[in-house]
Amino acid sequence: MIREFGSVNALSGTASSAGSTDANQGIVCNVTNCYYNRNRQYCTAEQIKVGPTSASCSDDTICATFRPL
């Protein structure tokens, strides 16, 4: 990963910042107080950002795309 948060388009692999009404079932998310959470299990953000640049386990990472309800 690069020094800044890397970004991935969750639906098509291209850059975009708009939200989607379709859930990407390949990105499981259980953060139920996030705007992009669908049905308490999937992310609907078209672009996700994950960081920081160095982690040794999943607890060391964060979703920078999180948007509170």
Amino acid at 69: L
Q: What is the pLDDT of residue 52?
A: 84
- Asked if the structure places residue 54 within a domain, the reply is yes
Residue 68 lies in a domain: no
pLDDT of residue 37: 93
How sure is the predictor about 5, in pLDDT bands with cuts at 50, 70 and 90? very low
In a domain, 1, yes or no: no
**pLDDT value at 2 more than 80:** no
Given a contact cutoff of 8 angstroms between Cβ atoms, the answer to whether 69 and 37 are in contact is: no
Number of compact structural domains in the chain: 1
Domain span including residue 22: 6-63
Report the phi/psi class of residue 8: left, alpha or beta, with left for phi > 0 and alpha for psi in -120 to 50: beta
- Which pLDDT does position 20 carry in this prediction? 62
> Which pTM does this prediction carry?
0.62
Q: Answer for the pair 59, 41: CB distance below 8 angstroms, yes or no.
A: no
Per-residue pLDDT of 15-60, as tens digits, reads 344 456 688 888 889 899 999 999 889 999 988 998 888 889 888 8
The helix (run of H) or strand (run of E) holding residue 45 is strand 42-45
